[in-house]
Amino acid sequence: MEKIFFAFAILFFFISCEKDDSNFIRKDSIQGRIEKGPFVTGSKVTLYELDNELKQTGKHIFTTVTTDDIGSFSFDSKMELSSPYVEIEIDGYFFNEYKNDISDSQIKLNAIADISNKSQINVNILTHLEFKRIKKLVTEGTLFANAKKQAMSELLKVFHINDKFGNPEDISFFDGTEESTALLAISAILLEGKSEGVFSQYLAMLSNNFAEKGVIDDTELIEEIKSSSNYLNSNDVKSNLVNFYKKKGYDITIGDVWRYVDHNGDEVLDDSDLNKIPETEILPELSIFDDEALVKSILTSNYSKILSYMESVIVLDAIRLNHELGKQYQITPTNQFVQSAYAAAYNAINTYNFIIERIAEEERTYDVNQYMATAKVLRALLYLDMVQHWGDLPLITKTLSLENISSISRTNAKNIYSFLENDLKDVRNNLPNEEFRYDNPFVPAALADAVLGIIALERGNDASAALERIINSGIFKVENKSVDIYNSANSETLFGLKTETSLPPFSTEFKKGSYHPVVRFSGIILNYAEALLTKGNKTKAIEMINLVRSAKGLSLYSNENDISRGITTTWKELYNMDYGYFLLLKRLGLAVQDLGIPSYMQLLPIPQRELDLIQNMTQNPGYKSAQ
């Protein structure tokens, strides 16, 4: 009997293996085109495997670049995926069909697809705008195929198109179809009158708004689409695109673009729109900074990029702090969190550079100083954190052009800190001297002092003055343990982020509520204790440690011979592996000893795709780059 049971067990084992094996999706290659206008040679393309809930599995990530100026890409290595769903993410420069030239800055586009029966995936404006909507529908229980159809139908209705089109990842300008003509129309409407930096922010706002209900219901966004449709010279954008392809050796056919543009604003696409096509040359670019409400939207929408950065950095810190995630992820140049953090930070920095460059170019009808100061402080916050995590980095303070991207190189960390200190001089005078509020686009003056104080600690300089300004302001306090700083307004947060859009593993492992404090007053007090220790004032340092511990209901600390340990222990007891703990251990020289990591892992690796794209970029010691 036992032998029979064993035989059945063996048979069942092989049947199970065979069944599991059949669930794998195997592809010899996946290829496609990226068309906004077409993306140029060297644009970054990343493919992520998704699970049935359309979340990144983290198991299979593939990278490549476009191979020509018409946006062609190919993943030529064999793929074996455990799911048919993939996400493709693109970063790069593109042909701007509106100004008839290559874009001055990069944009990011996404696509999501089921590759069970396809190996061709195109990425365009339609795939990007449906991306978040599909994820939301699937999260709510809609089957993927139905979510795709619903999102596409809803998206076309935004532009008053009632035709039934196929999946947007199957559409290309090379098709010569009505679908490809509509694609150009929608792309041109959204780009009309905007620089690429503003266009990128505008896409983010549209995508977020559309994802919620499958409509655009934000009044400002609706009016912008109407205005752009009215001003768009559809004949010119068609001519510009066709001629670009012809110069590259390709003949494409585009239909009457005007048929997909509501030129007269009556929300119906018909022949009456023909009479409203602008006959003049393309209007000069309108200054986005003339509209204070739109500038405010650009500033606040950038917080989503900072959240993306912080999420990834917290995960990377936790891995080195011996979190269970370390069993699943290794910190390498191709680690998805390394790449996403780096990209999100520079994407956010590029927007702040754009604001800083352009907002003061002309006389405005509103006070630009708070916008300028906020952009500088948040840019400094990102650079400070990146230097803490990566060391020497490219210091980019102006929006990039295609011509100078290849000349980028790493700047010494000390020089970056010097730049930031000089850049933050006097900006606190243009910021509100009050608590941080999530509904206020302007950061408090105390955040500028916090950045300056931590820079001083990193450089081994006296941080007391900056930190004392925060402490003595009387605005902030260490909340007692009964106050939920993750879900309510409080006096402890100097800067925080809304976490409604957070993604796993941050959302599953570290998210504690609808808000996530990044810079906390209790952390500032512990930073001050650190500053006092460097000055030899142990008694006052102990007093600061116990100020925090007492408020939080912890036993008092008394060992004056190991104040560094008092600071780190207090931080860990309060926030465990949350943001700031790893950097504190590293700065106090305890990371290698306490965590058992090699010394080189105190810095993160430069992402592999940066090394591939920028010839002057070098890797941090200890990390092996892909050959």
Q: What percent of the chain has pLDDT over 90?
A: 56
State residue 332's pLDDT score. 93
Report yes or no: 444 and 494 within 8 Å, Cβ to Cβ. yes
How high is the mean pLDDT of the chain? 87
Residue 52 to residue 69: CA distance in whole angstroms: 34
**0.75 surpassed by pTM:** no
Is the model's pLDDT at 17 over the cut of 60?
A: no
State residue 210's pLDDT score. 94
pLDDT band at 282 (very low <50, low <70, confident <90, very high): very low
- Between 301 and 480, the higher pLDDT residue: 480
pLDDT in tens, 302-335: 888 899 899 999 999 999 999 998 888 899 998 8
Residue 206 to residue 209: CA distance in whole angstroms: 5
pLDDT band at 280 (very low <50, low <70, confident <90, very high): very low
Is the model's pLDDT at 9 over the cut of 60?
A: no
3-class state of residue 245 by DSSP: helix
3-class state of residue 411 by DSSP: strand
Q: What are the start-end ranges of the E strands in 103-259?
A: 107-114, 123-124
State residue 406's pLDDT score. 61
pLDDT band at 2 (very low <50, low <70, confident <90, very high): very low
Residue 50 to residue 53: CA distance in whole angstroms: 8
pLDDT in tens, 331-384: 999 888 898 899 889 888 988 998 998 888 878 889 999 999 999 999 999 999
Distances 151 to 5, 182, 183, 463 between C-alpha atoms, Å: 51, 16, 15, 52
State residue 4's pLDDT score. 41
Name the nearest CA neighbour of 108 among 346, 312, 293: 346
Is the model's pLDDT at 609 over the cut of 80?
A: no
- Between 65 and 592, the higher pLDDT residue: 592
Task: Give the CATH number of domain 290-613.
Answer: 1.25.40.390
State residue 611's pLDDT score. 85
State residue 626's pLDDT score. 55
- Cα–Cα–Cα angle for 248, 249, 251, rounded to 5 degrees: 110
State residue 207's pLDDT score. 92
- Between 7 and 303, the higher pLDDT residue: 303
State residue 281's pLDDT score. 35
Least confident of 24-28, 42-46, 357-361, 399-403: 399-403
State residue 283's pLDDT score. 36
| Domain definitions of the chain by residue range | 23-286, 290-613
Report yes or no: 42 and 102 within 8 Å, Cβ to Cβ. no
pLDDT band at 218 (very low <50, low <70, confident <90, very high): confident
pLDDT band at 438 (very low <50, low <70, confident <90, very high): confident
pLDDT in tens, 147-190: 999 999 999 999 999 888 889 999 999 998 999 999 999 999 99
Is the model's pLDDT at 127 over the cut of 80?
A: yes
Is the model's pLDDT at 1 over the cut of 70?
A: no
Is the model's pLDDT at 450 over the cut of 60?
A: yes
Verify cis geometry, omega within 30 degrees of 0, for the bond prior to 505.
yes
Residue 337 to residue 331: CA distance in whole angstroms: 9
